[in-house]
Structure 1
Amino acid sequence: MLRRIPATLAVTALAASLAGCGGGEEPAAPAAAGGVELIQSGQLTTCTQVPYEPFQFREGDRIVGFDVEIVDLVATRIGVPQQIVETPFDNIQSGLALNSGLCDLGAAAMTITEERDQNLDFSDPYFDATQALLVPPGSDIAGVEQLTGRRLGVQSGTTGQDYATDNIAGAEQVVFEDIGLLLTAVQTGTVDAAINDNAPLLDYANKNPGFTVTEEFDTGEEYGLAVRTGNTALIEQINGALADARADGTYDALFEKWFGTTPPADN
């Protein structure tokens, strides 16, 4: 079972780690298998934000999902259990959580971008994604053309927010910290539509009759697992675990478990 550290403790830990990094010193990092230096000895500490179903979400007292099981493969490879720290997505994608020593690895259905790559090191891609538009039951919004003068919900710090800013003119953008708040806003009518990655929006629409993904935008995105800049030993272990999982069928089995289908040939 994976134990969960509440967000309030994560923030406290982040503040403490920042205070301990004065003078350019890096946090202590005990070595594990494969020469990997860990923030805390005996565990692989993962920063993620929940909910982001089916990648990471709560199921009873556990956090489960596709990303969680992918990182479990890495943890097994280096011989330690995974420990999850709930962290705001902005702190993960900006590099703050990783480079300050809050966690070893970031796994948050995170697209590899040039901007993020300046502050983080990414693994080989493990998932292909696009952006999508979700509308509630009875909506007359069939695509971006109908968004002029409407309220469009986006998640802070995401490529969905970037896409909306760059490509959807005329909509009033309403920003939410996480996808749970974003989807609640669509449910309650606080916003008229939402844009985010296709997988969580399709998952939500499949589980909530009447909600519809009306349009997808081929943005050619790829997800990667992230580590602090320069942590090449951990990147090598992550890439090794991903390669082994693809070769022995584990990746395909996990994909089918969480998405209900086999992965596309080019995924």
Structure 2
Amino acid sequence: MAEVVSFHKENGASLVRVERVGAVLRLTLNSPPANALSIAMMSALSDELDRASAAPDVRVVVIAATGNLFSAGHDLKELTAHRADPDRGREFFEKTLRMAADLMLKIAGLSQPVIAEIDGLATAAGCQLVATCDLAVCTDSSTFCTPGVNIGLFCSTPMVAVARAAHPKQAMEMLLTGETIDASTAKDFGLVNRIVPKQYLRQVVDKYASVIASKSPQALRVGKATYRAQAGLPLAEAYETAVAAMTENLLMDDAKEGIGAFLGKRMPEWTEK
């Protein structure tokens, strides 16, 4: 049974719904129909990620959304309103984009794995959010795009995440054409891991998350950090990073317990909660 922990509210409307199911924390963007990554939404999501980072009993984080649209990306009305500023919006534009970049870096740097649960359209910075998460599961009717080029605004910041998740030429295809791709194409491109029927989405994600949450928290923390650290390195440096990380991992209590349990043909009991 899910425990509803809290809501972030703005002008009486809930922005992020927070639930706990065992060791799994579910953060749901709750500002339909667009679930835009406004300043308020990014602030609320960032605050919850900070709380998750400080919670040793949270093993996995899921980012989902209400409604028929995962996220439309940045709030274009919010951005446009600042064109009347004395600097034509420069300060606010930079604040918005830096806040989004910091949010993506926070997800990447979070010790817990983060799973995106997508049902509907993930566009622009919404697609960036999906690409940034460690894993992504979507419905068979979900779609994805980086359409900035269609409105004279190349999706440069979404590009950073998409280019690291998708194959280079396919990432460029999305960015240059601005066209919407379906779930099957997104899986082929590398943006999502699994595609499921709409009625089974939460069930599959919950099972996926619970399986990961059952693993050693020490191993999960080391694994995610090492994966991120080695990803952009030359081969030899990547191996040096991995050797150092795995040596330290072998010295941890969970590795000692896990190997002992395997050799003793019993279930491990993880020491870090």
**TM-score normalized by structure 1?**
0.27
**Which structure features the higher share of helix residues?**
2
* Bigger relative contact order, structure 1 or 2 (CA pairs below 8 A, ≥6 apart): 1
**TM-score normalized by structure 2?**
0.27
